[in-house]
A and B are shown apart, each in its own frame.
Chain A
Amino acid sequence: MTLAENIKPATGETILSVNNIEVIYNHVILVLKGVSLNVPRGAIVALLGANGAGKTTTLRAVSNLLRGQRGEVTKGNIEFNGEQVQSLTPNELVRRGCIQVMEGRHCFGHLTIEENLLTGAYTRQDGGAAVKDHLDLVYQYFPRLKERRKSQAGYTSGGEQQMCAIGRALMSKPSMILLDEPSMGLAPQLVEEIFDIVRDLNSQEGVSFLLAEQNTNIALKYATYGYILESGRVVMDGVAKELRENEDVKEFYLGVGGEGRKSFRDVKHYRRRKRWLA
Chain B
Amino acid sequence: MELFNQIFVDPFVTMYELPDLLLQTLWEGFVSGTLYSLIALGFVLIFKASSVFNFAQGIMVVFAALTLVGLHELGVPAYLALLLTLGVMYLLAFSVERLVLRHMVNQPDIILFMTTIGLTFILIGAGELVFGGEPKAMITEELGLPTGSSDWDVFGGIVIFQHIDIAAAVIAFLLILGLAIFFNKTRIGRALRAVADDHQAALSVGISLNQIWVIVWFAAGIVALATGIMWAAKSDVSFALQVVALKALPVLVLGGFTSIPGAIVGGLIIGFSEKLFDLYWGVPILGGGTESWFAFIVALLFLLYRPEGLFGEKHIERI
Contacts and interface: CB of A to CB of B under 8 A. Distances in A.
Answer yes or no: are A and B bound together in one complex. Answer: yes
Interface of A: 63, 65, 67-68, 70, 89-91, 93-95, 99-102, 106-111, 115-116, 118-123, 152, 154-155, 157-158, 168-169, 172
A108 B198 contact: yes
Contacts of B204: 63, 65, 90, 99-102, 106
Interface residues of B, number: 24
A119 B198 contact: no
Contacts of B313: 110
B316 interface: yes
B318 A122 contact: no
Contact of B193 (A67, A100, A111, A155): A111
Interface in B206-231: 206-208, 211
Interface string B191-202: 101101111111
Interface of B: 105-106, 187, 190-191, 193-194, 196-208, 211, 313, 316, 318
17 contacts: A63-B204, A65-B204, A68-B199, A90-B204, A90-B206, A101-B204, A102-B200, A107-B198, A108-B193, A108-B198, A119-B190, A119-B205, A119-B207, A122-B187, A122-B190, A154-B318, A158-B318
Q: Secondary structure of the B side of the interface?
A: helix
Contact of A94 (B206, B316, B318): B206
A172 B205 contact: yes
A258 B316 CA distance: 44
Nearest to A102: B204
B219 to A, nearest CB: 18
A155 B204 CA distance: 21
B203 A68 contact: yes
A93 B208 CA distance: 11
Contacts of A109: 197-198, 316
A95 B208 CA distance: 11
Contacts of A65: 200, 203-204
A102 B205 CA distance: 10
A111 B191 CA distance: 10
B208 to A, nearest CB: 4
Given A106-B201, A111-B197, A68 B190 contact: no
B194 A91 contact: no
A106 B206 contact: no
Contacts of A95: 206
A119 B208 contact: no
A154 B197 CA distance: 10
